[in-house]
Amino acid sequence: MVHFVGAGPGAPDLITLRGARLLREADVIIYAGSLVNPELLQLAGPDCRIYNSAEMTLEQVLGVMAAAEQAGQTTVRLHTGDPCLYGAVREQMDALDAVGIAYDDTPGVSSFCGAAAALNAEYTLPGVSQTLIISRQAGRTPVPEKENLAALASHGASMVLFLSAGMLEKVQEGLLQGAFVSSTPAAIVYKATWPEEKIVRCTVGTLAESGRKAGIRSTALILAGDFLQPEYERSRLYDPAFTTGFRKGESK
């Protein structure tokens, strides 16, 4: 059996209880070494064999999983954040299906949640935005043309960009071609929830310059949108005059 597990954004105590239990019980751990906090590997038992997938191809990863399966052992495939975002898990799952190896998936705290926590931000502020767009700037990995940054930014919705901190000029340009203006608030969050976390608050117009000054080129998220400014409407849910399924609103 193979367990895909989300490691969380960095801080080792942000893995789920289930994820931690699976790590403790694993015979084999294959972890995404570029971003998973190695402290999590201390949960592994003394006989556990540990592989760093940053140095492996998909075929090698699958080979390790198949050998463990043959020996009747369990493998944990440990991905950063939540496996469902930029985790390259689907190709592993399809390959396991093809050879009849069973697997399951334990979610984790994605870094976009870690970054919001670092900023004490809420992506979905009433009267500001009720939508979060998660995407990336096209680079060596292409993005479908209909999802180019300017098109996505045309909504003016809250945005989080993964894998793009090394392309801040292009990001800035794309966002400005959309509904964002130079003064729209933005932030770069480097290694959210790690001890070396760095937060750079800026505007869309100063993204590239701010990233350069802070020396951030990777392992960061770019957040942009009016959800980072101080004005919003209060929620209906907790408004005394609003009736919900759980509470009757007071008439004024």
Q: Can you give the binding site for ligand SAH, defined by CB under 6 A? A: 9-10, 35, 79-82, 85-87, 110-111, 114-115, 162-163, 189, 191-194, 218-221
Pairing of strands 185-190, 220-224: antiparallel
Shortest Cβ 167–ligand SAH spacing (Å): 11
Cβ–Cβ < 8 Å for 131, 157? yes
Q: Tokens in use for 113?
A: 């949640």
CB of 211 to ligand SAH, least distance (A): 12
With respect to ligand SAH, which residue has the nearer C-beta, 77 or 191? 191
Q: Which is nearer to ligand SAH, 86 or 232 (CB)?
A: 86
Q: How far is CA 223 from the centre of its chain?
A: 12
Q: Residue with CB nearest ligand SAH?
A: 81
Cα 18-23-26 angle, rounded to 5 deg: 120
What whole-number distance in Å separates Cα of residue 159 and Cα of residue 136?
10
Closest to ligand SAH by CB, 69 or 193: 193
Distances (CA, A) of 249 to 86, 115, 187: 43, 35, 38
CA 174 to centroid of chain Cα atoms? 21
Q: Which is nearer to ligand SAH, 101 or 171 (CB)?
A: 171
